[in-house]
Structure 1
């Protein structure tokens, strides 16, 4: 008896501890949701991470994935892609461990992880990686045998195709889903499909798709009303036929014919009302279509006027600046600012026009660029190039512009006795990286989110206009790549230029 009592106490203590841990995890998740509703994103992310770790220790796999993906989405929202990808890998490992422990596959949880990773690659404009995730997403949806996930996959597939300009494939995906709902006569879901497609088109800045979808949506609304009216008419006709059969059975006299005439009159009245209603709806559709086309035309015209306005301001500055002493720092800074504004505007308008590529020996190319900054560094700064003797397809002129700008910045902020190095790394058959690192003062955390955005602060132009990195980022995009700051590097500054060939 003396041995049993301590064992009971220990069991009760364990149960209470588990209940407390569960309650704590739920509370953290609830607090995180409140912070997210209030748009306090940093605190929400921290609380979701705490809840994610708590649920993971309790083997609550669905809650673990939900909290982890919310935290990853908040990292992704602030462009902390490295942290977001690492967190998704951790969530995937937790699910894999759960599958081994329970002996059951969890395709619905893997679907959510793959969907978040796909969205990040779409935002990074990385079609190759996005396509890989889309394939994995389809496998998860098929394995789950869940209609809701299958429909979600079709939405996501359409988003992928429209984002990367494959409109025909996007239409096929969304039309497949709409066709399923039409067969089921689930008109509310069809309506939801069109609204979701309009949202996807707006996100992709695809004005043509927005206009085309609005036209289809208005036609669909009209057809739904017609289908509903037809169904009601069929019900009335069925009731009328049943009444007519009863009348014929009971009485074949003149009264039966009178009822038929009355019924036909009612039917004619209903058809006439339907025709009038159809004419009104058609007129409304024509008016709405004209308004939509006019609104889209005005929006495009305003965008073109904005670009032209910026170019004109920059061009008009030129003659005045030419009358001033070009040797003065302020005049020289204004010349540079004017040139950068025009270049930034031209790059934004030609992002869809890729540069021509040619093969270059990457080791010789990198060494040549590094040689150009040897006279710009402080005393005893070590310059190092780590690049293999490998031929790679690049645009030498534009790639040199980016790397030279990054190396010049490194030379400017690296003190005497420091180090600057340029690395080349292959990340796959068609992916490679150029990495510029230094041991300088680094970039303050409060400035990291804006370094690739133009005109985020008022600056003394003689100290630089802050447009160098935004221009480099747009050039990288035109080369089918991206320019990123490695926020995990703490010994100075490190920039990663990733290109896809």
Structure 2
């Protein structure tokens, strides 16, 4: 009789251990993913989160499966793999819908992070309509979930979208609501972080007006909060003082007791006075610092405007003098080109927030025409080749042609006879394309690389070039929503990479 009981108990233990192990697989993968993320092993982290999602989804643990799926999508879109990221979110949403249907439960709080991640990607892709559409979806899910944390996150998302697409008034409205929520809960740290995030976002976007306005709002808020905190400290000390007075009234009227209380009041009053002095000194120092910072920002902005104005006018001021010099004089020709380049550089700096318009261009034909124009500038027996598929991409053909033409001309100038110049086109993702210009020339010295894209970094003989070509190219590429960089890892010549996000 005892053997069957022991056998049944052993079977129960084995089944319990098996199911406990199956249920914990998702947790194990999440721990591995978190550790990989901490050590910046993003591919491993993405793989482990994906495995965690599969494990949780299999066990219908949707409250854990959806966050894992969102993490997978976030890591995909971090590397500009938008197609894979959107597919991951779609799969997660389908699984969630099937679970809701089978369980007859509605889980709006789990739909919200899916919509939130999509909204982040549309914002990064600068698709205004899609980003705003997902804001409304997020609002629907947050309302249905009746979760205050989601409402706070929604306000933050609204502010980010509105500021990104130039709707500053609506952005201010969302930030003010968010700050009001934090202040109503006396959560000054979160309110402070909210303002700092707003300033960081403005700086990253290169919006000078928004940066100054955000900083002024932050300084005004910080001043008011300092006053509120001082009032709170004063009220607390006043309460202690009142409590001490009440204690005196209730205690024994003996001389010894009254003397002790009087001494205590004197000590408390001294502490109260010291605290007030400390708070006052702190507020005065903070106000002085804030004023200095405001003045510094105003001065820097004024100097920047004066610099732009000077650069914009310098070529016009130089032109009458240059016209008096012989046109065939190399120095005169170099100065005229220098003046034109200064004007071009000024125009590019003043319009950095205005992106160039784009249209679909055949990449193979475009690259071949640039290579053909370069062949006449090369040394004997230099090979100019193109690797570009027959596909179209949205670019500004004229401005991109100027940038790539300049880079190819530089390659032709510094590539010796018998060398090779290559123009490659690569599509790295749905909204990520690259143009790679490689030559087998002498390369660029290590000490010159840091200042490669900085104008006026070195004193030059203008008859041998003014060094403004690469800075102008970098500013032009920025107006195409892209970057221009030197590939430091290439050691057989020079390689420049133009990366665009159309």
Equivalents in 2 of 1:197, 1:172: separation in Å? 13
Equivalents in 2 of 1:472, 1:217: separation in Å? 38
Equivalents in 1 of 2:223, 2:249: separation in Å? 38
Give the alignment's TM-score, normalised by structure 1: 0.60
- 1:226 shift after superposition: 0.8
Are residues 8 and 242 of structure 1, via their aligned partners in 2, closer, same or farther at CA, if it must alter by over 3 Å? Answer: closer
Equivalents in 1 of 2:349, 2:118: separation in Å? 27
1:173 aligns with 2:174: yes
Cα offsets for 1:261-290 (capped at 9, x unmatched): 999988976775465334412321233214
Instruction: Please tell me whether the aligned partners of residues 452 and 469 of structure 1 are also in contact (alpha carbons under 8 angstroms).
Output: no
Equivalents in 2 of 1:403, 1:469: separation in Å? 21
- 1:120 shift after superposition: 1.3
Equivalent residue for 1:79?
80
1:230 aligns with 2:234: yes
Are residues 50 and 469 of structure 1, via their aligned partners in 2, closer, same or farther at CA, if it must alter by over 3 Å? Answer: farther
- 1:184 shift after superposition: 3.4
Equivalent residue for 1:211?
215
Equivalent residue for 2:101?
100
- 1:215 shift after superposition: 0.6
Cα offsets for 1:450-485 (capped at 9, x unmatched): 8458xx876579xxx9x99995884589xxxxxxxx
- 1:202 shift after superposition: 4.2
Cα offsets for 1:6-55 (capped at 9, x unmatched): 99999988766544443433332222222211112222222222322232
Equivalents in 2 of 1:38, 1:339: separation in Å? 49
Equivalent residue for 1:110?
111
- 1:310 shift after superposition: 11
Equivalents in 1 of 2:59, 2:91: separation in Å? 16
1:408 aligns with 2:366: yes
1:138 aligns with 2:139: yes
Aligned to 1:403, what secondary structure does the other structure show? strand
Equivalent residue for 2:23?
22
- 1:309 shift after superposition: 12
Between 175-184 and 63-72, the greater mean CA deviation after superposition: 175-184
Equivalent residue for 1:371?
none
Equivalents in 2 of 1:451, 1:242: separation in Å? 76
Equivalent residue for 1:182?
183
Instruction: Please tell me whether the aligned partners of residues 72 and 84 of structure 1 are also in contact (alpha carbons under 8 angstroms).
Output: yes
- 1:180 shift after superposition: 3.0
Equivalent residue for 2:164?
163
Are residues 216 and 458 of structure 1, via their aligned partners in 2, closer, same or farther at CA, if it must alter by over 3 Å? Answer: farther
Instruction: Please tell me whether the aligned partners of residues 452 and 470 of structure 1 are also in contact (alpha carbons under 8 angstroms).
Output: no
- 1:347 shift after superposition: 5.2
Where does structure 1 lack aligned partners over 5 or more consecutive residues?
A: 325-334, 356-397, 425-440, 478-494
Equivalents in 2 of 1:310, 1:53: separation in Å? 59
Instruction: Please tell me whether the aligned partners of residues 197 and 213 of structure 1 are also in contact (alpha carbons under 8 angstroms).
Output: no
Q: Alpha carbon RMSD of aligned pairs, Å?
A: 5.6
- 1:297 shift after superposition: 5.8
Where does structure 2 lack aligned partners over 5 or more consecutive residues?
A: 1-5, 319-324, 331-336, 372-384, 395-422, 442-469, 483-498
Are residues 263 and 343 of structure 1, via their aligned partners in 2, closer, same or farther at CA, if it must alter by over 3 Å? Answer: same
Cα offsets for 1:121-175 (capped at 9, x unmatched): 2212222211111111112112111222222222222222222233332332232
- 1:177 shift after superposition: 2.9
Equivalent residue for 1:125?
126
1:239 aligns with 2:240: no
Instruction: Please tell me whether the aligned partners of residues 70 and 89 of structure 2 are also in contact (alpha carbons under 8 angstroms).
Output: yes
Counterparts of 1:345-360 in structure 2, within 5 Å, are 346=347, 349-353=350-354
Are residues 11 and 282 of structure 1, via their aligned partners in 2, closer, same or farther at CA, if it must alter by over 3 Å? Answer: closer
Cα offsets for 1:64-87 (capped at 9, x unmatched): 212211111111111122221221
Between 122-131 and 155-164, the greater mean CA deviation after superposition: 155-164
Instruction: Please tell me whether the aligned partners of residues 348 and 474 of structure 1 are also in contact (alpha carbons under 8 angstroms).
Output: no
Are residues 291 and 70 of structure 1, via their aligned partners in 2, closer, same or farther at CA, if it must alter by over 3 Å? Answer: farther
